[in-house]
Amino acid sequence: MNLVEKMENEKRSLFNQLEKEKEQLKLNNQRYAKWLMQNNYRYMELQANLKKINHSRKDD
């Protein structure tokens, strides 16, 4: 194997490694975005419920 082939193999190997890392980061980002949206939705629900409770107490 000559030097050019060796460099090409190393470059290809690094590229494949970076592609795998990119996919893993993308997957982790999607999971985090889903988690964040779910928690934001839950927070908004709790906030609305608290507002209803406080409003009903003021009416009493």
Name every residue whose Cβ is closer than 8 Å to that of residue 9 and which is 6 or more positions away in sequence: 1
Radius of gyration of the chain (CA): 26
Query: What pLDDT was estimated at residue 44?
Result: 97
% residues pLDDT > 90 (the chain):
85
Look at the block and give the residue holding tokens 């988690």: 35
Q: How many degrees, rounded to 5, is the angle at CA 17 between CA 14 and CA 18?
A: 85
Query: What pLDDT was estimated at residue 60?
Result: 62
Stronger pLDDT, 37 or 53, i.e. the higher one? 37
Q: Count other Cβ atoms within 10 Å, centred on residue 52.
A: 10
Query: What pLDDT was estimated at residue 11?
Result: 97
Asked whether residue 1 carries a pLDDT value surpassing 90, the answer given is no
